[in-house]
Amino acid sequence: MTLGVDIGGTFTDFVLFQDNKLIIHKLLSTRQDPSTALLRGVEEMGVGAEVDVVHGSTVATNAILEKQGARTALITTKGFRDVLEIGRQVRPKLYDFMVQREPPLVPRRWRFEISERVDYTGRALQSPPEPEMLELADKLKEENIESVAVCFLFSFLNPSHEQAVQRLLKQRWPQGIVSLSSEVLPEYREYERTSTVAVNAYVAPIISRYIHRLEEALNRNLRIMQSSGGSISSTMAIQQPVRSILSGPAGGVVGAFKAACEAGCPRVITLDMGGTSTDVSLCPGRIPEATEASIGGYPIRVPVIDIHTVGAGGGSIARLDAGGALRVGPESAGSEPGPVCYGQGEEITVTDANLMLGRLDPAHFLGGRMTLDITRMEGYMQALAERMDTDEVGAAQGIIRVANSNMVRAIRRISVERGFDPREFTLLAFGGAGPLHACELADEMSIPQVLVPPYPGVLSALGMVMADVVKDYSLTIMMPERELSLDRLGQLFAPLEMQAIADMEAQGFPRERMALSRFLDMRYQGQSYELTVDFESRGEAGQKEEPSRDVIHRFHQAHLQRFGHSDPTQPIEIVNMRLKAVGLVEQPQLQPEPTSQGSPDKARLGSKKVVFQGESWDTGLYDRDSLRHGHQVAGPAIIFQLDSTTVIPPHWVGRIDAFRNIVLCRKQ
């Protein structure tokens, strides 16, 4: 039995899979201490001690965004203390002359240089002097440093100097936390490696305290969701918290992709609209993965699910800028104070606009457990409408249009701008607010079909229940195409695979419940960026074979797909090897439902007026729990459930499939 917990900006979601049934629960998040809502939910659900907990945490993310991390120092090779400030020649806003970069997480006075050197082949030239290290340990104690990042120039080839520094620091400074770049990211590119290990060190003490507090309170097995879509043990999450910084959205994509595969449409664009933001991802028959991301302006080079985020959520605040233009987000009202209709907020949000248009109902929000204050909302909406020189309905429609346009741009960025035609995909909508907006977004992008899973509001937590245990390994090899052979690559992958098998066995997985996948980071010689390509050796160990033409062909195809061109005549270079080790957990097996002979009228709750495209329509209201396989609901209609609300516009129709998904298509 497994309990998935996703802490969002507005709600904390719980999904328990027990006796082949899903039990869901939602609570308002507690911003000051996210664990408060988590522990309260576990208590309210009456979860026994035998249940494992898988948790997606935003603690590390918030620490970076709010600059509330630990007092962190950096130890690096002499002459390289300013790598964090030099960075790359990349402007986040190309034409903005006034753009300001985020200051480094480690200020210059806490960046220390050591006289050590390893050359580009990995040969040690100068070992770290022990007197320098002992003096530095005393300095760290004087400055009350909590955590240290160690990043030497060629440590990805030879980690012995970083390991020696760690041993010396622990002797003189036992209370400190030390992060080594050779363990966190054994890859070349000193800036990205330094930034990644600095982020890891910056959040490590906070994550350590948070997880230890949870483990003590929960008294049960705890796993933490990773940004790559798999979970890791709490021990590993404490050692390498940088791998779980984007864990919440990753759980949503895992759950969405599994739901899409069950429904028979694995080519999906996922739309996760929560209270604070919207996360979109394009899955062309697989979960997309990238090898780097950015959080708060700081690059991290770890495997992550390829997700694009925009500040458009149910709690996104609507306001007029200095020129009188309507803006929506990225600021959010969150759970405290929340939207105006929650009873405490003072600024109109997207949720208030949906309530104004009738798409939310005061009596059916959160399954009737929470009543929305429509009278209070109308007063604030009227004040905004007067400033916009329109009426309340016009103001609400404007807010929805602006929020939708932000999400359309996000969908276009991950589809059209990357060579994918959105008309060939299904839009899978989830999150508390995703099904409210999905059909309108599909209209904008000419997406033919929308899929709303049975529990859209808690799908991220469900994805955590379904997530396998995953650990990623990498190694820089810089191998030109002429040296590529299956035998050589097999020799290089062998130690990574031995380590992966040992790590998975330590977490309780027998060999038959493991899956190992190989990947190569490849580029044309002279390029400064790589593409990750699947690699599977078809030769036997020890065989002398020509380079695999399949992997080279896949690289050319991937380059053509991503950038619109390729050149098979150009030589290729393999930069990094990657290995993904998966410990296969027992998956919830949801059984298909037989076709119902009854009528959807039994699920009808009544009707009311709802605004679509400036017109008021008589709209049917339905209870989702009463809808069964085979039922059809023609728009305009609204379907209520505990964790979300689905809006079916006038020109759309929804049917319930065998897995209780709502499949929405335009009327013929």
pLDDT in tens, 94-112: 787 777 778 899 999 999 9
Percent of the chain with pLDDT over 90: 42
3-state SS assignment for residue 351:
helix
How far apart CA 462 and CA 226 sit, in angstroms, is 14
Confidence at residue 247, expressed as pLDDT on a 0 to 100 scale = 80
Tally the C-alpha atoms within 13 A of residue 607's C-alpha that lie toward its C-beta. 11
How far apart CA 603 and CA 536 sit, in angstroms, is 51
**Whether the Cβ atoms of residue 326 and residue 320 lie closer than 8 Å to each other:** yes
Mean pLDDT of all residues in 32-49? 82
Mean pLDDT of all residues in 419-441? 93
Confidence at residue 546, expressed as pLDDT on a 0 to 100 scale = 46
Confidence at residue 629, expressed as pLDDT on a 0 to 100 scale = 92
DSSP classification of residue 558: H
Confidence at residue 548, expressed as pLDDT on a 0 to 100 scale = 62
Confidence at residue 538, expressed as pLDDT on a 0 to 100 scale = 42
Contacts of 519 (CB under 8 A, 6+ apart): 532, 533, 534, 535, 577, 578, 579, 580
pLDDT tier at 601 (50, 70, 90 boundaries)? confident
Q: Residue 539 pLDDT > 70, yes or no?
A: no
Higher pLDDT, 179 or 291: 179
How far is the CA of 428 from the CAs of 84, 261, 489, 579, in angstroms? 39, 11, 39, 29
For 155-181, the three-class secondary structure string (H helix, E strand, C coil) is: CCCCCHHHHHHHHHHHHHCCCCEEEEH
Confidence at residue 542, expressed as pLDDT on a 0 to 100 scale = 38
For 563-595, the three-class secondary structure string (H helix, E strand, C coil) is: HCCCCCCCCEEEEEEEEEEEECCCCCCCCCCCC
Which string of DSSP letters, residue by residue, matches 204-267? HHHHHHHHHHHHHHH-S-EEEE-TTS-EEEHHHHHH-GGGGTTHHHHHHHHHHHHHHHHTT--E
Q: Residue 21 pLDDT > 80, yes or no?
A: no
Confidence at residue 541, expressed as pLDDT on a 0 to 100 scale = 37
Higher pLDDT, 204 or 277: 204
* Cis status, amide bond into 337, omega within 30 of 0: yes
Residue that is written with structure tokens 């009202």 in the block: 333
How far apart CA 333 and CA 163 sit, in angstroms, is 46
**Whether the Cβ atoms of residue 492 and residue 574 lie closer than 8 Å to each other:** no
How far apart CA 57 and CA 313 sit, in angstroms, is 19
Q: Residue 57 pLDDT > 80, yes or no?
A: no
Mean pLDDT of all residues in 365-380? 86
How far apart CA 581 and CA 571 sit, in angstroms, is 30
Confidence at residue 354, expressed as pLDDT on a 0 to 100 scale = 94
Nearest to 591 by CA among 8, 16, 1, 22: 22
Look at strands 267-273 and 652-656 and give their pairing: unpaired
Look at strands 72-77 and 147-151 and give their pairing: parallel
Which string of DSSP letters, residue by residue, matches 8-73? -SSEEEEEEEETTEEEEEEEE--SS-HHHHHHHHHHHHT--TT-EEEEE--HHHHHHHTT----EE
Confidence at residue 617, expressed as pLDDT on a 0 to 100 scale = 94
pLDDT in tens, 470-511: 888 988 988 888 888 778 888 889 999 999 999 898 888 899
**Pair of tokens at residue 215:** 């483990």
Confidence at residue 507, expressed as pLDDT on a 0 to 100 scale = 83
Percent of the chain with pLDDT over 70: 97
Q: Residue 518 pLDDT > 70, yes or no?
A: yes
DSSP classification of residue 349: B
DSSP classification of residue 498: H
How far apart CA 496 and CA 581 sit, in angstroms, is 10
Question: Rounded to the nearest 5°, which phi and psi values hold at 337?
Answer: -85, -15
Confidence at residue 545, expressed as pLDDT on a 0 to 100 scale = 41
Q: Residue 162 pLDDT > 80, yes or no?
A: yes
pLDDT in tens, 310-356: 888 888 899 998 888 999 988 888 767 889 999 888 899 999 999 99
Q: Residue 223 pLDDT > 60, yes or no?
A: yes
Mean pLDDT of all residues in 423-438? 94
Mean pLDDT of all residues in 449-474? 89
Confidence at residue 333, expressed as pLDDT on a 0 to 100 scale = 84
Length reported for the chain? 668
